[in-house]
Structure 1
Amino acid sequence: MTEAAHPSRDHGPSLLTPGVLVPFIIVTVIWGSTWLVIRDQVSAVPASWSVAYRFLLASVAMAILARARGLSLWIGGRGIAFAACLGASQFMLNFNFVYRAEMVLTSGVVAVFYALLLIPNSLLAWLTFRQPVSRNFIIGSVIAVTGVVLLFLREYRYADVAPGAVLEGIALCFCGLMAASVSNVMQGAPIARRLPIISVLAWAMLLGGLMDSALAWIVAGPPVFDTRLGYIAGIAYLAVAGSVVTFPLYFRLIQQIGAGRAAYTGVLTPVIAMLLSTLFEGYRWSTLAVVGALLSVAGMVIAMRAKPSR
């Protein structure tokens, strides 16, 4: 990986350049579909074991990808320690909270909440690296978040679960959101910019998967596996498409355009997730949901057109 500019100087390319827009679209479309698959993953297998299977398999696939590209898997002691922290925040804490949230909320609701990732990402990036944001980015973010709030209000009013379960799901989403944001902002650290991201992710997924396994054994007992073809295919899809394909692209986006702007993948993601939820979970669109979705997309377009502050 070539050395990038210092994280405090956000001189990254426009979000509309092909080198940024194409991976942005790939990540958004794939992650928009993963929420629905996760819903099935927690139907018969304890959440922590499903998370463990996903990232243990993903670590093997990521290691194969690294070697296929001629990258060394040895990243040194400090690199492995960094990967362990990344694995704990992203692939253990974040996903355990996400999977548990989907046990009480629909996939669309959880995806909507995660669209707010741009807020802690931007705040933590500013606090840690003083990464600036432009006025248009702030305006676009306010519009998009307003849309997300409308989507969430619709879900809160009409969700077919008890209000207490909704609040429990919100709390789980919030904890996962903060864990994900920490791992996102870690990509601005100098060590993350020096090491090959695919090799780092191979270690992070392996170590995170082992942590998931330890947690699963503690909270759910010995391994449980669902032999249904749908479950096995879901594990493979989440591991390969939802992890090996997307995380290198996403973390590279963070290093190119900053954690706040990269998190805009999460604004369009819930719209895709809700479209799929309409087809497979019986989600019903209301005027509030339509307005919220339109505002989310409009705000994202405004923010994407904003040039980085100097």
Structure 2
Amino acid sequence: MNALLYGLVVVIWGTTWIAIFLQQGDVPAPVSIFWRFAVASMTLLLILSLTRRLRQLSARDHFFCLLQGGCVFGFNFWCFYTAAGWINTGLESVIFSMAVLFNAINSFIFFAKKPPRRFYLAATLGLTGIITLFWQDLAASGISHHLLLGTGLSLVGTYGFSLGNMISLRHQQKGLETMTTNAWAMLWGTLIMGGVALVRGDNFTPDWTVSYLGALFYLAIFGSVIGFGAYFTLVGRIGPGSAAYSTLLFPLVALTISTFYEGYVWHLNAVLGLALILTGNLVMFAKPLTLPRRQKLQRHV
């Protein structure tokens, strides 16, 4: 089950970056985010109501859903959508991989949970692999004002996502149903972004083109309802640190799509980066070697 959830997260979220790129244009970022999660939250609330899986939440739980909505379904995406106008979405997906480290840090801060020793090696291999994978693109981009702003916003958005992970873990430790908290958090995120758009005086009219609406549908249903549902379920099953490691594979999905549709060329650095990421993945999920009971007794004799 964990492998299925992990695969869903990697494939779906690995392709949402392209959908975010397709929404770049005249529609303000808060408006695009508002419509995305308006569709997602209404769809999820309807499904849960029809299947009688929508659970009641206390006022305190709704407050934490409000915080989760702002962190995961609101301000963090405002950062990502804005950054997409300054840096390419492939680079954004690389920066988003920092969620692994942010989750480990926040798990220690909020839950005093130390990650397993192999986590540090796995994260180091994965992040090194991603840097190696994109080294040629980073070198070609150079350091510019837009690059710094785009990178900074992507880091802020990633940290917001990590904070949302902590809130989701809090929900699940309280015995709250993941899809219910996701639905209400998405609705709160929708209202927050709607309020931001109103204050800014933005026009709520979406772009009626096929590409924009297609991207909106994909981001709402697959990227939000299915993707976040699978991810936060994974957070509850294996912990935020291990779940966030799936973000290290997102750029690989983006590169695969780019190979077929944009003619991406796999240079030596790309092959080496891929090898490092897959090795890190193996380290993270390989079970520690344990000795048979008899051998353990002999070692203590």
Equivalent-residue separation in structure 2 for 1:92 and 1:58 (angstroms): 13
1:180 aligns with 2:158: no
**Counterparts of residues 150-299 of structure 1 (less than 5 Å):** 150-159=132-141, 163-189=144-170, 193-219=174-200, 221-281=202-262, 283-299=264-280
TM-score (norm 1): 0.87
1:304 to 285, 289, 295: 285
1:113 to 68, 85, 95: 95
Q: CA deviation at 1:101?
A: 1.3
Equivalent-residue separation in structure 1 for 2:265 and 2:86 (angstroms): 18
Aligned CA-pair RMSD: 2.0
Equivalent-residue separation in structure 1 for 2:277 and 2:83 (angstroms): 22
**Counterparts of residues 68-83 of structure 1 (less than 5 Å):** 68-83=50-65
Equivalent-residue separation in structure 1 for 2:158 and 2:287 (angstroms): 25
CA contact (8 A) 1:52 1:210 kept: yes
CA contact (8 A) 1:115 1:266 kept: yes
After superposition, the Cα gap between the structure-2 partners of 1:66 and 1:116, relative to the gap in structure 1 and judged at 3 Å, is same
Partner of 1:204, secondary structure, is helix
**Counterparts of residues 53-64 of structure 1 (less than 5 Å):** 53-64=35-46
After superposition, the Cα gap between the structure-2 partners of 1:57 and 1:73, relative to the gap in structure 1 and judged at 3 Å, is farther
Equivalent-residue separation in structure 2 for 1:260 and 1:154 (angstroms): 29
**Aligned twin of 1:14:** none
For residue 157 of structure 2, what is the amino acid of its counterpart?
Answer: G
**Aligned twin of 1:12:** none
For residue 180 of structure 1, what is the amino acid of its counterpart?
Answer: F
Q: CA deviation at 1:186?
A: 1.5
2:125 to 143, 150, 175: 143
| Greater Rg by CA | 2
For residue 106 of structure 2, what is the amino acid of its counterpart?
Answer: L
Equivalent-residue separation in structure 2 for 1:217 and 1:285 (angstroms): 45
CA contact (8 A) 2:14 2:254 kept: yes
1:39 to 21, 26, 37: 21
Q: CA deviation at 1:93?
A: 1.3
CA contact (8 A) 2:99 2:158 kept: yes
Q: CA deviation at 1:86?
A: 0.5
After superposition, the Cα gap between the structure-2 partners of 1:219 and 1:286, relative to the gap in structure 1 and judged at 3 Å, is farther
After superposition, the Cα gap between the structure-2 partners of 1:224 and 1:282, relative to the gap in structure 1 and judged at 3 Å, is farther
For structure 2, the 5+ residue unaligned runs are 290-301
Equivalent-residue separation in structure 1 for 2:76 and 2:82 (angstroms): 10
Equivalent-residue separation in structure 2 for 1:274 and 1:216 (angstroms): 33
Partner of 1:189, secondary structure, is helix
1:191-210 alpha-carbon deviations (Å, 9 max, x no partner): 65422211111111111011
Equivalent-residue separation in structure 1 for 2:151 and 2:284 (angstroms): 26
Partner of 2:197, secondary structure, is helix
Q: CA deviation at 1:152?
A: 4.2
Q: CA deviation at 1:270?
A: 1.0
For residue 275 of structure 2, what is the amino acid of its counterpart?
Answer: L
Identity over aligned residues, as a percent? 28
TM-score (norm 2): 0.89
Equivalent-residue separation in structure 1 for 2:17 and 2:208 (angstroms): 21
Q: CA deviation at 1:190?
A: 5.4
For structure 1, the 5+ residue unaligned runs are 1-18
Q: CA deviation at 1:116?
A: 1.6
Q: CA deviation at 1:150?
A: 2.1
Partner of 2:205, secondary structure, is coil
CA contact (8 A) 2:10 2:249 kept: yes
CA contact (8 A) 1:29 1:269 kept: yes
Q: CA deviation at 1:217?
A: 2.9
CA contact (8 A) 2:28 2:202 kept: no
Equivalent-residue separation in structure 1 for 2:221 and 2:288 (angstroms): 33
For residue 250 of structure 1, what is the amino acid of its counterpart?
Answer: Y
